[in-house]
Amino acid sequence: MDTSAVMKVIDLMAETGLFFAKADGQYDNAEKDFIENFLKNLGQYGDVSEVKETVEGALGKTFTLDKIVADTQDLVKGFNDTEKAAILATIGGFIAKLIASDGVEHPAEKANFDAWKKALGIA
Tens digits of residue pLDDT in 10-32: 778 778 888 888 888 878 788 88
The Cα–Cα gap between 76 and 94 comes to: 16
Q: What share of the chain in percent tops pLDDT 70?
A: 81
Q: Which domain does 113 fall in, by range?
A: 3-119
Q: Find all residues with CB under 8 Å of 117, minimum gap 6, and list them.
A: 92, 123
What total of structural domains would you count in the chain?
A: 1
- Round to whole Å and give the CA distance between 120 and 1: 21
What's the pLDDT at 108?
A: 92
The pTM assigned to this predicted structure is 0.82
Segment-wise mean pLDDT, segments of 10 residues, the chain, 123 residues:
69 83 83 80 68 69 89 91 91 91 89 96 84
CB 96 within 8 A of CB 7: no
